Amino acid sequence: MKLGIIGSGMIVKELLSIAGFLKDVELTAICGTMKSQEKVEGLKQEYGIKQTVYSYEELLALDLDAVYIGLPNHLHFEFAQKALLANKNVIVEKPFTVNAKEAEALCNLAKEKNVFLFEAITNQYLPNYRKIKEILPSIGKVKIVQCNYSQYSSRYDKFKAGVVLPAFNPEFAGGALMDLNIYNIHFVAGLFGRPENVEYYPNLERGIDTSGVVIMDYGAFKCVCIAAKDCKAPIANNIQGDNGCIYQDNPTNVCEGFELLLNDGSVQKVNENMYEHRMVHEFIEFFDLIKKGDRKQCYDMLAHSLLVSEIQTAARAMSGIVFPNDEKLK
């Protein structure tokens, strides 16, 4: 399997660090800008990538089985669309797109071209997360769901000093919802599907949400998803039922393990993840599905990504957060 990569940031380096676990995957090429040439050439040497290119069109002209897009949020749609139009299988980093209209357009295009399209969203592919799905009935009727992913960002110090990096830049579709809370929304939507109502209450600074609370109403139970880049708290996720609770003390993007706490006082600790790095499971499955030609599973996951995009789009609309990508669609 020949993989082409576009981007040279932190997430691309994370992917390259797990390349040894991806059997039969060749790192064929990495594409960057001339501004990032030194970094791109360094990655080529460090991870044994066969070649570097500095034009996306040149990358797409290569003989590749898949393209991985590890670019800032606002570029996901444009670069995924170009790759799909070039009949390439595509893996695009989370968040899938900036808004639901972009997500729907990519899903439709992938099906039209009969190619694979994946959102690289770790938790959906982790054995621990799938185990939570399996044992969820054991806690009885769900009443309350709470996810809190709050970690103080060093970039927030720079933001307060007037230096706006992509993570806090509306032009790049940054902010706490798109960076951290998107994991919480994936976590919840993957378990419970579409909520009846979505609300978002962000702390806004200079047009960007530095932290915020998403409330999802599922009728029979309520869900609160908290994410913060401007303050920190112990990370905790709880799914509370009338027969017990599923408790997790680690972020929803890693699912390192969890506890099943039942009303009878019993405690079961669970950790079925096979790899320490959170990205290994998802990329093994991506390439396995491509090899097997399993488009049904791929398109089922696309439906999930579209749902999450619809939820975050509704959340932003409710709170008045608008990105340039949203304006382009009017």
Strand bridging mode 117-120 / 267-270: unpaired
- How many CB atoms are closer than 10 A to CB 216? 25
Question: Is the domain of 37 the same as that of 132?
Answer: no
Q: What is the pLDDT of residues 282-312, one digit of tens each?
A: 999 999 999 999 999 999 999 999 999 999 9
- Percent helix / strand / coil, the chain, rounded to 5: 45, 25, 30
For the packed helices 295-319 and 182-192, what is the interaxial angle rounded to 10 degrees?
A: 120
Q: Do 42 and 171 lie in a common domain?
A: no
Q: Are 176 and 47 within one domain?
A: no
CA dihedral for 270, 274, 277, 279, sign (positive or negative):
negative
Domain that holds residue 102: 2-120+280-294
| Residues 91 and 203 reside in one and the same domain | no
172-231 tens-digit pLDDT: 999 999 999 999 999 999 999 999 999 999 999 999 999 999 999 999 999 999 999 999
pLDDT digits (tens, 9 = 90+) for 139-156: 999 999 999 999 999 999
Residues 263 and 173 in one domain: yes
Same domain, 206 and 94: no
Cα separation of 117 and 107, whole Å? 8
Token output for 279: 């990205």
Q: At 232, is the pLDDT very low, low, confident or very high (cuts 50, 70, 90)?
A: very high
Q: Has residue 78 been placed in a domain?
A: yes
pLDDT at 329 over 90: no
In a domain, 302, yes or no: no
Tokens 């932290």, residue located: 211
Specify the DSSP class assigned to residue 119: E
Verify that 111 and 242 share a domain, yes or no.
no
Residue 34 domain-assigned (yes or no): yes
**Residue 40 pLDDT > 60, yes or no?**
yes
Look at residue 120 in the predicted model and tell me its pLDDT. 98
Q: Would you say residue 81 has pLDDT above 80? A: yes
Q: DSSP letter for 325, please.
A: H
What pLDDT is attached to residue 328? 76
325 domain residue, yes or no: no
Q: Does residue 299 belong to any structural domain of this protein?
A: no
147-to-67, 129, 182, 255, 314 alpha-carbon distances in Å: 32, 14, 11, 12, 19
Mean pLDDT (the chain, rounded):
97
To which residue do tokens 């304006």 refer?
327
Share of the chain above pLDDT 90, in %: 99
Pair 151, 261 in one domain: yes
In this prediction, residue 148 carries a pLDDT of 98
> Are 104 and 148 found together in one domain?
no
The DSSP symbol for 319 reads H
Do 288 and 262 fall into the same domain?
A: no
Q: Where are the beta strands (DSSP E) in the chain?
A: 2-6, 26-31, 51-53, 66-69, 89-93, 117-120, 142-150, 197-205, 208-217, 222-228, 236-241, 244-248, 258-262, 267-270
Pairing of strands 66-69, 89-93: parallel
- Taking a C-beta distance cutoff of 8 angstroms, is the pair 143, 322 a contact? no
Domain-located, residue 254: yes
Specify if 151 maps to a domain.
Answer: yes
CATH of residue 45: 3.40.50.720
Asked if the structure places residue 290 within a domain, the reply is: yes
Q: What is the CATH number of the domain that holds 131?
A: 3.30.360.10
What is the number of structural domains in the chain?
Answer: 2
Q: Helix, strand, or coil here: 173? A: coil
71, 195: one domain: no
What are the C-alpha distances in Å from 18 to residues 12, 72, 243, 321? 10, 21, 39, 35
Query: In this model, does residue 271 exceed pLDDT 80?
Result: yes
CA proximity to 32, closest of 40, 22, 44, 20: 40
Claim to verify: residue 226 and residue 93 sit in the same structural domain: no
Task: Provide the β-strand partners of residue 52.
Answer: 30
